[in-house]
Amino acid sequence: MSDARQRILRRIAHALERRWPVELPGDPWRQAEDAAAPTRFVQNATQNGVEALSFDSPQAAARWLAEWAAEFSSAAVSPHVPPWLQPQLPQRPPAEAELGVSRALAAVADTGSVLLSSSEGRRLQLLPPVHLVWVDEAEVVQHLGEALEALQENPPSALALHSGPSKSADIGQIMVQGVHGPGRLVVALVRGLDAAPKATRGKARGKTTRATPSSGLDWNAVRRLQGRTLATKTGKAFEVLRVTDNTVVIRVGSSEKSYTLRRKTLEKAAALARGGAVIQGPSDFKKKVADEAPAYAWAILRELGAI
Amino acid sequence: MAKGYKAAAREMLASQPEVRASVTKATLHFHANRERAYGEVDAESWRDWAATVKRHLLSRLDHYLLLAEEKLSGNGVEVHWAENAADAQQILSRLVKRHDVKKVVKGKSMLSEELEVNSLLQRLGVEVFETDLGEYIIQLAEEPPSHIVGPAIHKSLDDIRALFAKRLGTARDASPEELAAAARRVLREAFLSADMGISGGNFVVAESGTLVLVENEGNIRLTTSAPRVHVALVGIEKLLPRTRDLEVFLQLLARAATGQKLGIFTSLISGPRRPDESDGPEVMHVIFVDNGRSSVLADDEMQEALSCIRCGACLNACPVYRQTGGHAYGQVYSGPIGIVLTPGLKDPALAAELGYACSLCTACADVCPVRIPLPKQILAWRRRAAESGAGGPLEKWLFDGYANIVSKPRFYRMSAKMLRAFKGLTSAPWLPVIGAWASGHGGLEPSPKSFHQIWEEELANE
Amino acid sequence: MRVAFFVTCLADQFFAEAAADAVRLLRSLDIEVVFPRGQTCCGQPAYNAGHWDAARKMALHTQQVFEGYDYVVLPSGSCTTMVRAYTPGLFAGDKPHYTAALDLAERTYELSEFLVKVLNVEDLGDGLRGLKVAYHHGCHVSRELGIKSEPVGLLEAAGAEIVPWQADNECCGFGGVFSVKNVPVSLAMADHKLDTLPEVDVLTSADGACLMHMGGHAKKRGLDIKVRHLASLLWEARNG
Ligand code: SF4
């Protein structure tokens, strides 16, 4: 086909021979920045049909999430979402999950869009009927060009702008939501998204969690629990659904209810035990370590012989 | 396709009056949304700017094509070139074989209509799913698209109910949501099992080798994400010089097409999936297609039409289009841009009829986001058609005769008198022009006295 | 101030009284109106049909007839547009004729535009008090020349109520040769205009051809719609 290529290029060159090149114009008009970028983003995104929210802190966001996520029974979560913003839900492949959770690279105020990278997985952005996208408030820019420029050096293989719920008016001009992509797009702006909530601050930031050697908790041993069914002290069965770098996700019985245990919490308990503390049971765990699904955390640590 | 516009339009208005109603409703809706959306920004300055960027691009098209090819290749995309539909079909056939493709999902692409991709794939024994809801509807109905943005706007809710009931077994009174859900079920399955996704391309950014696709449903994102092979069909004129150009083009396209701030989903694809990514196509191909575009580029009066970003605004603004929708034109592209592009891409002789599917109201020029001088170009096609004698000897004789009459005042006044002397003249159905006119108009009578006469008798002496 | 009146062929034959009203109106404003002999047609029918040789012939004739007048005023939006916006393009590459075409273009005005822009008349009188009017914006005059507020403003100032009409700036379907070549589509377009037309006393426009198309089709359909040329209404505003 290089013949075709040659012929096409030759014909174009021939057509252009007699013409003067037209100059590229200067910078185009831009919309007025009549409010801060996050404010304008929320306004415009809302107009697009996005459920847009803002949170002052990751704690506030996590609190909201715990409640909000309760209406779902499973999720596909991007590895770019920090542990404290992951819903405590059983993980499912995107095609089966009820909720997809993303971490945006940026958001654009002019258009009410979030920018998503293929590196977190394309399907989780598209297949679940509801899509929750976390954005750091500092990563909201006024104009699309600014966001694209920032990514120009090293763009992901597929960069996607999502500006609202999937929709179509192809059936008799009547708007239908959720045709192929998510029918609900929830975008949550979080101030200081990457800062771990206070309880564990300092121990970990974002994905760069360093193992804490002194804790004595072998995380690989924890990983091996994935898929196992364990029981609490009172005999309640639960399944270890997934172990990530920073979390353990469990599902309780057949109730579809799930919890995410944070690595930091488990490590804290292990470190205490190593230091000689005795953690007798869930209520003791709650008192000495943290009030985070103590029954299950205690059972896991017990299983590993870490307490 | 064989029937010309004139006959097809007449027949549609007579036998399918409901199409007129659906199309009018849909286009007026799009049109009003565009108007509001233009009003929210400095649309005039954006249109000037975008028009200039596209004119720049066209004036250096060879340079930008080579740049795009280099960058795409650098991104791991295989680039192909097709001179015409046969070329493109051959390339596609080879890719289907090479990648052992049994099932294809498609995102909306007018170019794929031009290239008749669906019938090719069927011949190759490949199962094809159009995944845009509108395209899926007309695929089920076995019809071509009627509008470049809303392919099924000629169909009413009831039409689609009946169609889906027959083909998908939905209830006869299913709600739009239920109908969409039925389509979604079929197509979701198709996405997850297809071997190849075929998309068009709204833009290709030359400096970065990025393919840009805009949509509202998410089907194009899935088409380009789920199957292991992605093939993009891209007209050679679809380039943009720079990434930064997208800021305006994406917004302008959305505002012109549907009045949105931005399409719901925009994909900026810079290559196949990377080793560290969990999903995405393993291979990606871009086919640059000429298919008549370089001839349009060589045509001084028509070349600006290659700036078109296929927003459909000119169709929505066109009162002629609104009466029939796209099918009457009998071509892939309809409405004002279809009239301008089709004779250039295919055959100038088509202008003889298409050129007159226009009342020259110039509403299209008012809305085109890249300021294509559509009415001027339509007139130029008419001029060429008239010069080539396409209107027939009678038409030429009439206009030449008329010119002779009106440039000789004496003749002019004489014929004016005749108009009154033979009273029946203006309703004489045996005169070709008068007959056609009288069929739809009543009581066409000249003023009792011409102005010339009134002047002489009354006004001249005041 | 001397104004040459260009009646245009269609108004000459079919809206002769309205054209006469235009002259009466101008004279009532103390304008000297002359009617250059030998004037015929601006050439638009041939131009729009693609027969540019014929169009050029007519345009040249018009140039000759109106040479030397300060102002040329037309009771027709579309013909004004032909002279102003289209004719010069017919003579691209033919410098002398192009210059002459531009010169004529600069002196040429549609009636209501002339009243407002040149004579600075905004209020003709209140002869249209209480009249409910639908105003059809002819395509060329409104889009190519941007003349919209002038006719509407004059009607309103005269006490007419301009009733909102969703399709007021949509093409009526006439389009010259179009209405002959594609009759059913042309009539369907007129139908859309008529079907959206609000309840009014009179439908008016600066373009006689559009009124003829809509009015004639309304008659065929048996609709009772009264059609009057803008020039007549403006004269009535002053005189009524
Ligand atoms: S010609 Fe202009 S208005 Fe028509 S589809 Fe192309 S870009 Fe849009």
Output the pLDDT for position A256: 67
Residue nearest to atom 7 of ligand 1 (CA): B308
Residues 51-80 of B with CB under 8 A from C: none
Atom of ligand 1 nearest to the CA of B335: 4
Listed range (A200-209, B101-110, C215-224) with the worst mean pLDDT: A200-209
Which chains, if any, share at least 3 CB pairs under 8 A with chain A? Answer: B
- Please determine, for residue A214, whether its predicted confidence score (pLDDT) is greater than 60: no
Domain residue ranges in chain C: 2-118, 132-239
| Ligand 1 proximity of B53 Cβ (cutoff 6 Å) | no
In chain B, residues with a C-beta closer than 8 Å to the C-beta of C58 are: 403, 406-407
B442 pLDDT tier (thresholds 50, 70, 90): confident
| Ligand 1 proximity of B252 Cβ (cutoff 6 Å) | no
Contact between B265 and A160 using a beta-carbon 8 Å cutoff = yes
Output the pLDDT for position A210: 38
> What is the rounded average pLDDT for all residues in chain C?
96
- Dihedral of CA atoms A47, A48, A53, A56 in degrees, nearest 10, equals -80
Cα separation, A251 vs A219, whole angstroms? 19
Of the options 1.20.1050.140, 2.30.30.100, 1.10.1060.10, 3.40.50.2300, the CATH number for the domain spanning B295-387: 1.10.1060.10
B433 and C CB contact within 8 Å = yes
Is the pair C, B in contact (3+ CB pairs within 8 Å)? yes
Whether A37-210 shares its CATH topology with A219-304 is answered: no
B403 and C CB contact within 8 Å = yes
Output the pLDDT for position A142: 97
Best mutation target, A111, A171, A173, A176, to test chain B (most B CBs within 10 A): A171
| Ligand 1 proximity of B313 Cβ (cutoff 6 Å) | yes
pLDDT digits (tens, 9 = 90+) for B275-327: 989 999 999 999 999 999 999 999 999 999 999 999 999 999 999 999 999 99
- Please determine, for residue B336, whether its predicted confidence score (pLDDT) is greater than 60: yes
| Ligand 1 proximity of B354 Cβ (cutoff 6 Å) | no
Among candidates C11, C60, C179 on the partner chain, residue whose Cβ is nearest the Cβ of B437: C179
Superfamily of domain A37-210: NagB/RpiA/CoA transferase-like (3.40.50.10420)
- Please determine, for residue A207, whether its predicted confidence score (pLDDT) is greater than 70: no
Output the pLDDT for position A212: 38
Best mutation target, B361, B368, B383, to test chain C (most C CBs within 10 A): B361
- Please determine, for residue B2, whether its predicted confidence score (pLDDT) is greater than 70: no
Domain B41-291: assigned CATH number: 3.40.50.10420
| Ligand 1 proximity of B337 Cβ (cutoff 6 Å) | yes
- Please determine, for residue B241, whether its predicted confidence score (pLDDT) is greater than 90: yes
pLDDT digits (tens, 9 = 90+) for A40-80: 999 999 999 999 999 999 999 999 999 999 999 999 999 99
Choosing from B47, B258, B314 the residue with most ligand 1 atoms within 8 A of its CB, the one to mutate for a pocket test is B314
In chain B, residues with a C-beta closer than 8 Å to the C-beta of A107 are: none
Residue nearest to atom 3 of ligand 1 (CA): B368
CA distance A181 to chain B (A): 5
Contact between B440 and C39 using a beta-carbon 8 Å cutoff = no
Is the pair C, A in contact (3+ CB pairs within 8 Å)? no
- Single-letter amino acid, residue A247: T
Stated pTM of the model: 0.87
CATH 2.30.30 fits A219-304, yes or no: yes
pLDDT digits (tens, 9 = 90+) for B24-45: 999 999 999 999 999 999 999 9
| Ligand 1 proximity of B372 Cβ (cutoff 6 Å) | yes
User: B187: how many CB neighbours lie within 10 A of its CB?
Assistant: 24
Output the pLDDT for position A221: 84
Contact between B400 and C54 using a beta-carbon 8 Å cutoff = yes
Output the pLDDT for position B431: 55
pLDDT digits (tens, 9 = 90+) for A226-263: 888 888 888 888 888 888 777 888 888 766 677 888 88
B425 pLDDT tier (thresholds 50, 70, 90): low
CA distance B459 to chain A (A): 55
Cα separation, B80 vs B92, whole angstroms? 10
Among candidates B356, B453, B459 on the partner chain, residue whose Cβ is nearest the Cβ of C178: B356
* Cα B230 to middle of ligand 1, angstroms: 27
**Residue pairs between chains A and B whose CB atoms are closer than 8 Å:** 262
Is residue C67 classed as helix, strand or coil in its secondary structure?
coil
Contact between C35 and B460 using a beta-carbon 8 Å cutoff = yes
pLDDT digits (tens, 9 = 90+) for B176-235: 999 999 999 999 999 999 999 999 999 999 999 999 999 999 999 999 999 999 999 999
Cα separation, A293 vs A302, whole angstroms? 14
Please name the residue of chain A whose CA is at the shortest distance from the CA of residue B207: A152
Domain residue ranges in chain B: 41-291, 295-387, 392-461
**Residue B39 buriedness (CB in 10 A; 0-12 / 13-18 / 19+):** exposed
Q: What is the mean pLDDT of residues B246-263?
A: 98
Output the pLDDT for position A209: 37
CA distance B247 to chain C (A): 29
Q: Are B239 and B68 in contact (CB under 8 A)?
A: yes
A205 pLDDT tier (thresholds 50, 70, 90): very low
- Single-letter amino acid, residue B119: S
φ, ψ of residue C173 to 5 degrees: the values are 105, 0
Q: Return the higher-pLDDT residue of B284 and A264.
A: B284
